[in-house]
């Protein structure tokens, strides 16, 4: 008697993901903010990937590759900086590296948050208490200050990957708390109870029932983690704590300050990176706002 009810109340994993994907595409068509955010973000991704075919990414983004401090021209569309780097190549490689740091740190932080949040809320008991305690302790730590200390101590070993790992070490408490709250609201729902009655075990319920229903929230959480990682990387690199050799967007600002680009009126050195950063942050916020509204039907109905 249970089996037919289970079939109607629970949604198989593949169908659930397909349904979510279709729902997401319909939501993109209805939400201009999300569409604009996605277009800007994908344009930046295209600029940083396809642009690699237009410039020499091995030499041009590094010092002494071009005459120093040249204004934009046909030969150097974005100009050159005081170190003799082609700014077009710097922006192409720098955008890609900054996105790589953000995506890597955001992915790791969200993955840890998913595992801990699901385990904490689904199993409860002392496991929940222990994870909640660790998360609460992490929230009391001034994360950026600790990251500055760690990056200072490890500065000679800092690479793009190491920078992402430092940021990821402090990127998981927020997702853990948010996912735990979402799972707590789902675990007593009827479809979860029916899954238990049908004989599904804990991990199977998590993978086949909870994760598909958390998909909108996880997408919004990933974009939020990406924004946090981009801000964190920019903050550390502005202090000169990033990889000194790699031309990331944050390190471009560091060198711009060091060589007084503002006082020397080298507007292309600071203006173009600022424009790219603004576009990147704006696109991520547009996507984040829209996904958060998608993940929370109550806010969508009240809007």
User: What is the mean predicted confidence (pLDDT) over 68-83?
Assistant: 92
Residues in the chain, total: 303
Q: Could you tell me which residues are beta bridge partners of residue 80? A: 86
What gap in Å lies between CA 280 and CA 230, rounded to an integer?
Answer: 9
Q: What's residue 212's pLDDT?
A: 82
Q: What is the pTM of this model?
A: 0.83
- 3 state SS of 195: helix
Helix ranges (DSSP H) in the chain? 2-9, 13-30, 32-50, 87-123, 125-140, 143-153, 160-168, 173-186, 190-197, 202-205, 211-238, 249-258, 267-295, 297-302
Grade residue 94 by pLDDT with cuts at 50, 70 and 90: very high
pLDDT score, position 211:
83
- Cβ count within 10 A of residue 68: 14
Residue with tokens 């806010």: 299
Q: Are 192 and 210 in contact (CB under 8 A)?
A: yes
Contact 269, 66 (CB under 8 A): no
Average pLDDT (13-35) is: 71
Rounded Cα gap, residues 66 and 244, in angstroms: 19
Mean pLDDT confidence for 48-64 = 88
Give the pLDDT mean for 97-125: 91
Quickly tell me which residue has 């990889």 as its tokens. 243
């Amino acid at each position: 008697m249970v089996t037919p009810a289970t079939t109607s109340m629970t949604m198989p994993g593949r169908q659930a993901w397909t349904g979510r994907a279709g729902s997401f595409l319909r939501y993109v068509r209805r939400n201009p903010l999300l569409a604009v955010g996605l277009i800007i973000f994908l344009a930046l991704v295209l600029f940083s990937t396809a642009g690699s075919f237009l410039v020499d990414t091995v030499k041009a983004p590094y010092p002494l590759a071009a005459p120093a401090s040249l204004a934009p021209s046909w030969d150097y569309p974005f100009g050159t900086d005081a170190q003799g780097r082609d700014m077009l190549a710097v922006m192409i490689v720098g955008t890609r590296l900054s996105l790589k740091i953000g995506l890597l740190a955001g992915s790791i932080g969200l993955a840890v948050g998913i595992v801990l949040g699901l385990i904490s809320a689904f199993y409860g008991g002392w496991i929940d208490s222990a994870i909640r305690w660790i998360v609460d302790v992490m929230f009391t730590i001034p994360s950026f200050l600790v990251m500055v200390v760690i990056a200072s101590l490890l500065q000679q070993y800092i690479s793009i990957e190491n920078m992402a790992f430092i940021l990821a070490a402090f990127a998981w408490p927020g997702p853990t708390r948010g996912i735990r709250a979402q799972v707590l609201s789902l675990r007593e729902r009827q479809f979860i109870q029916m899954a238990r009655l049908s004989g599904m075990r804990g991990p199977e319920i998590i993978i086949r029932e909870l994760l598909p229903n958390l998909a909108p929230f996880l997408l919004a959480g990933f974009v939020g983690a990406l924004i946090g990682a981009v801000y964190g990387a920019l903050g550390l690199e502005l202090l000169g704590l990033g990889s000194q050799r790699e031309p990331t967007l944050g390190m471009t600002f560091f060198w711009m300050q060091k060589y007084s680009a503002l006082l020397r009126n080298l507007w292309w050195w600071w203006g173009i990176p600022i424009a790219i950063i603004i576009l990147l942050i704006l696109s991520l916020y547009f996507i984040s706002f829209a996904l958060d509204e998608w993940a929370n039907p109550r806010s969508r109905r009240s809007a």
